[in-house]
Amino acid sequence: MCSGRISPHFILKAFQEGADGVLVAGCHIGECHYGKGNFITAKRVAVMKELIQFIGLSPKRLRLEWIATSEGNKFAKVVSDFTEEMVQLGPSFLRPKKIAKFDTGKKMEGSLEARR
C-alpha cells in the first residue's frame, strides 16, 4: 500500500475518534513503489497541518516521516519519539473524557507511568 492512499479524511476521522497524534510514514521521495504516491502525501499533510493548527490542535500532532522498508531501527526510534512527544503535549482536546479502562479517578500527570 502506498502512503498516497492515506486520504486526509482518514486523518481527520482519527483525530475525531480521540487520537492524540497521527503518524504517516511512507517511502522516501523518489523511491515510491508506485511511482509518485508520496508526492501527494507530502502536499496533503502540509495542508492538513495548517488546517488543524487553525482549529487549535497543535500541528505537532500530525507527523510525516519517510521510512524505507529496510529501516527498522529508524521506524522504532520515530515511533518512540513520537509517543513521548504526544505524552508531553498531553491528551488531545477531542479525546472523550471518560475512557472506561483507564479512568482511575486520579488526576492525569504528564508521563506515561502515571497514566498506567
Partner 1 sequence: MLEGKEVSAILALRRDNGHPIPFLFTKAEELMDCVADEANRYPLTKILIKLAKKHPNETIGIVVRGCEERSLRELLKNIQLRQGKVKPIGIACSQELANRCRCTLPFPSQVEEGELAKPVEDFSDLEEIEKLPEDERFQYWMKQFGKCIKCYGCRNICPACFCPTCTLEDANLIKPGGMPPEIPIFHLHKAYHMADRCIDCGLCEEACPMGIPVRRLYRKVKKSVKDLFGYVPGEKEEEKGPLEFLGDGSYELPGAGK
Residue ranges that bind partner 1, judged by CB under 8 A: 4, 8-9, 12-13, 15-16, 29-30, 35-37, 39-40, 42-48, 50-52, 54-58, 60, 63-66, 78, 93-94
Which C-beta is closer to partner 1: that of 20 or that of 63?
63
- Closest approach, Cβ 116 to partner 1, in A, equals 26
DSSP-derived letter for residue 66 is: E
Tell me the C-alpha to C-alpha distance, in Å, between residue 28 and each of 9, 42, 46, 78.
23, 11, 16, 15
Measured from the CB atom, the residue of 43 and 104 that comes closer to partner 1 is: 43
Instruction: Match 496533503 to its residue by C-alpha cell.
Output: 44
* 63 three-class SS: strand
CB nearer to partner 1: give 30 or 105: 30
CA distance 1 to 93: 31
Work out how close the CB of 31 gets to partner 1 at its nearest, in angstroms, rounded to a whole number: 11
